[in-house]
């Protein structure tokens, strides 16, 4: 997920520092941000599911899993 975040920040910085019309840049950045959140969502859901399982696991189960 860090790679997705890094790539998004890089693209946003590239667009914001460009010479295009400011309104167009804002529109492009908004689209990039929407795409970024859609790409991140499956990973966020997976992390939440894993956290749910580990928080409900007993210390013995956690020890056996490692």
DSSP string, 8-63: HHHHHHHHHTSSS-HHHHHHHHHHHHHHHHHHHHHHHHHHHHHHHHHHHS-HHHHH
In the predicted structure, residue 23 carries a pLDDT above the cut 90: yes
Domain parsing of the chain, residue ranges: 2-65
Contact residues for 40 (Cβ-Cβ < 8 A; gap 6+): 1, 4, 5
The lowest-confidence range among 6-10, 22-26, 50-54 is: 50-54
- pLDDT (average), residues 15-28: 97
Model pLDDT, residue 6: 97
CA-to-CA separations, 52 to 37, 46, 47, 65, in angstroms, rounded: 22, 10, 9, 15
């Amino acid at each position: 997920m860090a790679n997705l975040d890094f790539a998004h920040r890089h693209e946003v910085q590239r667009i914001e520092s460009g010479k295009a019309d400011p309104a167009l840049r804002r529109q492009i950045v908004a689209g990039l941000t929407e795409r970024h959140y859609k790409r991140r969502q499956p990973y966020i859901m997976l992390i939440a599911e894993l956290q749910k399982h580990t928080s409900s696991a007993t210390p013995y189960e956690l020890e056996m899993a490692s």
